[in-house]
Amino acid sequence: MLGRTNKVRAELVADCKNQHGEGIFWNPADGLVWWTDIEGCALWSFDPATLETTSHEMPERVCCFAPRASGGLIVAYADRVVVFNTPEGEEALVTRFEPNNPETRLNDGRPDRQGRLIVGGMNEVSGKANSSVICVDTDLSVQTIIEGVSCANSTCFTADGATMFFADTPDREIVAFDYDTSGGTVSNRRQHASFNDEPGLPDGSCVDAEGGVWNAEWEGHRVVRVAPDGTIDRVIEVPVWKPTCCAFGGPDLDTLFITTSRLMSDEAALTQIMIDTTEVWPLIGRDFQARMTEEPEVETNVVPFKTKPAAPEDAGGTIWSQVQTILHGRDPELWSSWFQHLNEVERAGGCVTLIAPSRFMADYIAQKWSARLLAAYSRVDPEVRTLRIDATE
């Protein structure tokens, strides 16, 4: 991963205070930048000409969406895809997503060059690779095109539509597929770029006219451009911990708009993890722009996640009871199911060691501790996936 040139720092453009901004794209039909605040259950728009933002309340979390040529939207909620007619708010069901798997939900999605919606899922409970990616055709027929997915992200297409980029985030890589533009299927999977040496994980992406993939690095404080040869040649520094998605927009398509997230973040946790937290914290969950001049025609992507409310105060007691209080206190039903996938492997010498089913899950859980536990948290072992908490501070 060489060629770190042309660094740019993103600037705040829309002070929208989203809980979890995602799914950003430019709509030339109305001259607006659109995105979703998943946990805020709202769709947002931004007018680059007037600098005005507008929010539109939705009945539940929208994971990704796109305008339809015939009017209205195609909307991916967590558990289904619908045709949504605005402003009446009428819905017509297209498909349920994995109704027999209670652990998965829809996540990343975007249209291909022919107008199909490609949208993938994630396992938000155990982190298992048992979700999928589906293709919703223009006639609203549905087919599965990728299986064995843990967390679908980065879906985007080259200008000719013949290559689809994709990331299963825990794999720390962006892959490329040959894309059948006539049938909406994929083949010939190969690695396009490794993120093993990057500070963050691959999240939302878009493609520029030269075939460069711009990726928001989750927990990486940056957006990077992956050149066609797979190397990173440009970096946009984002003054927040969790960039989520990016899209070129504006009349001249010369501005890269970036969404960010508060997911799994509270002020106490950020104090322990982030650099220059006092400067960065007020910007979390807002939107940024980075002006570029080299890229003409480009496209966008949608990559949503799920956020949870802030942790309660520590209840005191043993370190183990505090872990249980903090995790269960956020969402008892969700965290009870998560504990079914964790094993306590050590409680000796003032140290609690947990083992998670995957590195991605270990990272996810590690961010749930309170400030005290986070300060005592040792490390996530990438090989054995253990979480060690030293209680002897």
- Per-residue pLDDT tens digits for 216-259: 999 888 999 999 999 999 999 888 888 999 999 988 888 899 98
The 10s digit of each residue's pLDDT in 44-79 is 999 989 989 999 999 899 999 999 988 899 999 999
Structure tokens at 267: 């002020």
pLDDT at site 291: 60
Half-sphere exposure of 44 (CA within 13 A, CB side): 27
CB neighbours of 329 closer than 8 A, spacing ≥ 6?
311, 312, 335
At residue 326, does pLDDT exceed 60?
no
Count of CB atoms within 10 A of residue 350's CB?
12
In whole angstroms, give the CA distance from residue 374 to residue 157: 39
Digit-coded pLDDT (tens) for 4-45: 456 677 888 887 878 888 899 999 999 999 999 888 899 999
Report the pLDDT value the prediction gives residue 275, as an integer from 0 to 100: 32
Any idea which residue has 């040869």 for tokens?
229
The mean pLDDT value for 374-382 works out to 39
Q: For the chain, give the percent of residues with pLDDT over 90.
A: 46
Q: Is the pLDDT of residue 282 over 50?
A: no
Decide if pLDDT at 318 tops 50: no
Question: Greater confidence, 309 or 387?
Answer: 387
Among residues 12, 13, 46, the alpha carbon closest in space to that of 31 is found at 46
pLDDT at 363: 54
In the prediction, which pLDDT does 178 show?
98
Q: Are 109 and 76 in contact (CB under 8 A)?
A: yes
Looking at residue 260, what is its pLDDT? Answer: 87
DSSP character at residue 69: T
- Collapse the DSSP code of 14 into the 3-class scheme (helix H, G, I; strand E, B; otherwise coil) and give the result: strand
pLDDT reading at 325 higher than 50? no
Mean pLDDT of 140-168: 96
* Amino acid 319: pLDDT: 41
Scanning 223-348, the segments in alpha helix (DSSP H) are 267-273, 277-280, 319-330, 332-339
What do you get for the CA distance between the two ends of the chain, in Å? 39
Q: What contacts 210, CB < 8 A, 6 or more positions away?
A: 228, 295
pTM: 0.73
Residue 326 in 3-state DSSP?
helix
Per-residue confidence band for 375, with pLDDT thresholds at 50, 70 and 90 = very low
Q: How far from chain centre, in Å, is Cα 116? A: 21
Position with higher pLDDT, 307 vs 362: 362
Cα 303 from chain centroid (whole Å): 4
What gap in Å lies between CA 187 and CA 160, rounded to an integer?
16
> Would you call 376 helix, strand, or coil by DSSP?
helix
CB atoms near residue 200 (< 10 Å): 21
Higher pLDDT, residue 285 or 163: 163
